[in-house]
Amino acid sequence: MATSFSNFRQRFTRAPRYQRICSYALIAYLIYALLLGLLVPYLTKSIVPEKVSALLGRPVLIEDVTINPFTLTFEVKGFEIQTQEQQDFVGIGRLTLQVNLWKSLFNGSINLETIEIDQAFANIEKFNDNQFNFSDIQEYMAAQTTPAETPEPGAEESNDASGLPHIQIANIGITNSAFNFKDQPSGAVLNYPAINIGLTKFNSLAMLVNPKQANAPTPTYNRFNLSIEGADESAVTTTGRFQLTPLEAQGSLALKHIKLMTFWPFIAKQITAKLESGVVDYTTNYRFIGDTTPAENTTTPQFITDSGEFALRSLILTSADNELINLPLFTASGIALDLQQQLVAIDNISTDGMQLHASVHQGEVDLATLLTPTSLTDKQPPSAVVAPTVTEKYSADAQVWVINLGEFNLTNYDINIVESWITKATKWRISPLNFSTKAISSSYNAPIDYELALSINDNGSFASQGSIDIKQQSITAHISLEKLNLTQFQPYITPYLNIILNSGYFTTKGDFYADSKGTTRFNGEVQIEKLVINDKKLNKSLLKWQDFTINNIAFDQQANSLLIDHIQLIRPYAQIIVAADKSSNISNLVIEQKLADKTSKVTATAAVKSATATENTMLIEINKFTLTGGKIDYTDNVLTPSFSAVIDNIEGHVGKLSSTTTKNAELDIKAVVNKYAPMTLKGVVNPLIPEPFIDVEFVFNNFELPSMTPYTGTYAGLDIDEGQLSLALKYKLEKNHLEGSNHIFIDQLDMNNTKDSDAGSFLPITLAIPLLKDSRGAIDLGVNVSGDLNDPSFNVGEIVLKTLSNIILKAVTSPFTLLASLVDSTEDLDKVSFANGSTTLAQVEQSKLDSLAKALAQRPEIKLNIKGSYDANADKKALQNSALNSKLSQSTGRIIEQSTNAADLPVSAGMTNALIALYELETKGKADALRNAIATQQPALAEPELEQVWLRSLYTESRKVQVVTEQQLRGLAKSRANTIKSHLREVSKVDAGRIFVLSHQSNVPSTSTETTLTLVVK
């Protein structure tokens, strides 16, 4: 064996040199092949898993390692890092690396033929906010690592001016790989079972564009593609090219069928609403440049996208099995982004067919609450106010992003809202809702043109076209609200008014302008048609009209003016019904609110008044107001029978009204009451000036009073058989001072007691009417009023009613005063005076009776009652004097007047003897005894004086014993009554049938000689 080896060595040393070199090379290559092809794979498979496992603290497996030393192909199969529980964590099914040695040698570059990774996988799991299934690796490596010493400061490493090494790789690929992420806190799972990445002809020095040949064909270096497909059929793909020096990439990106449900669990706990479906698609071209200013010290990256297309489809959000949002489609096209210009441009945003369901309660929209993250709704502690830093100030002044939108289109939206804040679950539906705009820029350099159209509960439509200038904070628009059904607002009226809206349509059209400077203008018209309002108590028509239109409205807040060309009211109708319980359909129309509400209302009203008082007076002008075909029905069911009245054919106009001009507007209103009684209201008015001016005349003719019998029968117990009422009222208001005259004319009024009523009147109407009627059967009354409207105690209605009541009461309580006024007399015509014991009329009394007769001629229905009277003392004395004088006349033979008394008795011897004889005869006394008694009582009297006193005493004592009976006194009273009647009949020519002398058998007045007359209606 030794000899053979020695011989081989000798022959080898003697062999030519090239043979020896080749032999050495062959041996080296075989050794290289053995080491690289067998030993290295063995050692790698044996040692690497153990070393890596020791480094990571995890089980590490390698299924196989192979190296082809001839093709320089390196392959690792079944590399896997497991979890502590020996479950799959990350791994590579196959890793292949092939080096092109010859190209590397010839080109002077690092040249790889292939880098391939196949069936790689990664399973990431999150346990909580801070723990993942790889957290133990970090903790294990940190525990095994010895803290490194801090290096001493030294010279910084110099940058290699040569840049990146020249590396070429023919093909890089990651195929059939998978990624799985499981988030235990949210339950979300992201599973992407098909991940493929390809990079062809990688060249670290290749450029996207050859700078030396700008028009040369596009090179094929550094092309890449990425495809990530999810288990939910979603996909992310991107293709393109890139260069490394300077860094730049360009390509296209596509997100396909990205299902939002996959990612929803990450935020599901933050959002109350529940996502049911939603798919996102997005495509774009992009370009990234690492540094556009390489000559400068700062890095300025650039990122550009164009031709972007975004679509959101089938978005459905629910809450408690109730659908909140259903958005079939939302798209954005022509999306472009420029990072350096900080510009986002979108050609078009369109959305169609969204259905939205929301409710409003306590001033909050449930949709906002359901979609707002709970982290934002949690109460945060108030933050301290910090002055802005220099950086913040710089940032505030820095360029901001600009977003430009070509157009926006929103179509066929269906908005459903249940309002439970003011009412009890009132449903509102806005559908279809269409809204579009032209170009919009976040720089707001130009106004935004828009169009809006919507329908409200299928009971009205709204449209608007115009422009909004956000920078100037102004809006210019044409608005049109067509036939908005007012009945749908009934739930909002019910808490405040006892009415039922049965019908009504509101329409308005016009041009509107407003800005932040306080300018508001509106030019247009307003119309309410087919309005029907019923009262809630009787559910009968309360108010209605065919059409109410305000034409050519011009409102200017800045000019503080409101100009209206024409207000027209067609066929208005109102009905007032008084029920049997005395309630009416207009009583309690306003529902009383709580005290707190009242207080707030009063406060608010006071504030409004105060604010209004401080403002300049608004210019209000109404060119014309017309009314046609009006009607008012009045029914009073309290009465038996019920009372009804109709004011029909109400029409007229009011001329130009102005709050500033002194020119007054013409007023002309006409109507007919109960078919036959015309009424007019004419004059001039100006109610809009600070101190309103009114000068009007109201005339009402020939109203048939028998229709008022239900009132007179119920409250006065009288039926009206005949009569007509006419009114002429004139009122003038100037500088808050009112002057008015009320002329009331009642013709041929005839009333009788009704058989169906026991009611009595607080006014003696049956007596008042004949007293007020003139000889033609007419009652003509006039009442004037005057006062200051600023006086709280001044009330026109109360004054007129009180005056009329006083006229009637005065006519009844002082009828002769009324009669005296007819003949311009101030005498008491109801009192006729007589001398004591006399029945003869003095001249003055005769004149008084003549005046009474003239007054009676003007009141033909009045009749006169006469009942004479006497004075029990004065008339008795007068009759006693008369009786005594008759006896003395007979005794003396001299005629003594009946009115003679003791003071004026003629003195003579015969008269003295007659008095003595008559005294002693009728008194049974002695005349001398009487004389002595007088002398004793009055001793100072002289003889002549004593004689005179004695004769008067004889006369007085004799008169006292004269007998005057009650019958005589009553006869005196009756004679006086007959004397009055005779004068009235024979002298004053009063019809005998109107004068009655009452019985004097009983109850004869006995306290005065003055006879009192009374009036009656018979």
- On whether the CB atoms of residues 526 and 543 are closer than 8 A, the answer is no
Distance CA 973, CA 1010 (A): 10
Distance CA 626, CA 564 (A): 13
φ, ψ of residue 217 in degrees (nearest 5): -60, 150
Q: Is the pLDDT of residue 592 over 70?
A: yes
Tokens of 113: 């033929």
What pLDDT score was predicted for residue 610?
47
How large is the average pLDDT for residues 436-444? 92
φ, ψ of residue 493 in degrees (nearest 5): -90, -35
Tokens of 489: 């607002």
The pairing of strands 665-673 and 625-636 is: unpaired
Tokens of 491: 């739930």
- On whether the CB atoms of residues 850 and 988 are closer than 8 A, the answer is yes
Distance CA 712, CA 683 (A): 33
3-state secondary structure (DSSP) of residue 846: helix
* pLDDT per position as a tens digit, 633-678: 988 888 777 888 899 999 999 998 888 777 788 899 999 998 888 9
How large is the average pLDDT for residues 185-202? 93
Tokens of 582: 């005395």
Distance CA 333, CA 310 (A): 6
Residue the block writes with tokens 């309410």: 528
The pairing of strands 665-673 and 440-441 is: unpaired
Q: Is the pLDDT of residue 474 over 60?
A: yes
* pLDDT per position as a tens digit, 896-925: 777 777 777 777 777 778 788 888 878 888
What pLDDT score was predicted for residue 1007?
79
793 contacts: CB under 8 Å, gap ≥ 6: none
Distance CA 36, CA 634 (A): 119
Q: Is the pLDDT of residue 602 over 60?
A: no
Distance CA 91, CA 82 (A): 8
Regarding the domain delimited by 814-1017, which CATH topology (the fold level of the hierarchy) does it fall under? Answer: 60s Ribosomal Protein L30; Chain: A; (3.30.1330)
Rounded alpha-carbon distances, angstroms, from residue 515 to 471, 473, 977: 10, 5, 94
What pLDDT score was predicted for residue 763?
52
* 155-159, 248-252, 951-955: range with highest mean pLDDT: 248-252
Residue 527: which H helix or E strand, with range?
Answer: strand 520-535
Rounded alpha-carbon distances, angstroms, from residue 1016 to 568, 720, 976, 983: 56, 20, 20, 20
Tokens of 188: 């979300």
Distance CA 102, CA 271 (A): 62
Q: Is the pLDDT of residue 393 over 50?
A: no
What pLDDT score was predicted for residue 922?
80
What pLDDT score was predicted for residue 215?
60
Distance CA 643, CA 40 (A): 123
What pLDDT score was predicted for residue 534?
92
What pLDDT score was predicted for residue 158?
43
* pLDDT per position as a tens digit, 702-743: 888 888 777 777 766 778 888 888 888 888 888 888 888 888
Beta bridge partners of 467: 449, 476
Distance CA 696, CA 744 (A): 16
772 contacts: CB under 8 Å, gap ≥ 6: 779, 781, 807, 808, 811, 818
* Closest residue by Cα to residue 583 from 618, 535, 647: 535
Q: Is the pLDDT of residue 762 over 60?
A: no
What pLDDT score was predicted for residue 384?
46
Tokens of 672: 């007919």
How large is the average pLDDT for residues 293-305? 83
φ, ψ of residue 776 in degrees (nearest 5): -95, 5
Sign of CA dihedral 682, 683, 688, 693: negative
Residue 47: which H helix or E strand, with range?
Answer: helix 40-56
* pLDDT per position as a tens digit, 947-991: 788 888 878 887 887 888 888 888 888 888 888 888 888 888 888
**pLDDT confidence bin for 226, thresholds 50/70/90:** very high
* Helix segments in 440-528, DSSP class H: 490-493
What pLDDT score was predicted for residue 524?
95
Sign of CA dihedral 673, 675, 676, 678: positive
Distance CA 12, CA 22 (A): 12
- Other CB atoms within a 10 A radius of the CB of residue 751 amount to 21
Tokens of 291: 């540094």
Domain with CATH 3.30.1330.60 in the chain: 814-1017
How large is the average pLDDT for residues 326-332? 96
389 against 303, higher pLDDT = 303
**pLDDT confidence bin for 214, thresholds 50/70/90:** low
Distance CA 915, CA 950 (A): 10
**pLDDT confidence bin for 339, thresholds 50/70/90:** very high
Helix/strand/coil (H, E, C) string of 536-581? Answer: CCCCCEEEEEEEEEEEEEEEECCCCEEEEEEEEEECCEEEEEECCC
φ, ψ of residue 88 in degrees (nearest 5): -60, 130
- What angle (nearest 5°) sits at the alpha carbon of residue 579, between those of residues 573 and 584? 55
- On whether the CB atoms of residues 401 and 393 are closer than 8 A, the answer is no
* Closest residue by Cα to residue 83 from 42, 41, 127: 127
Share of residues in the chain with pLDDT > 70 (%): 88
928 contacts: CB under 8 Å, gap ≥ 6: none
Sign of CA dihedral 878, 880, 885, 890: positive
- Other CB atoms within a 10 A radius of the CB of residue 346 amount to 20
Give the chain's mean pLDDT. Answer: 83
* Closest residue by Cα to residue 553 from 519, 508, 518: 508
What pLDDT score was predicted for residue 710?
79
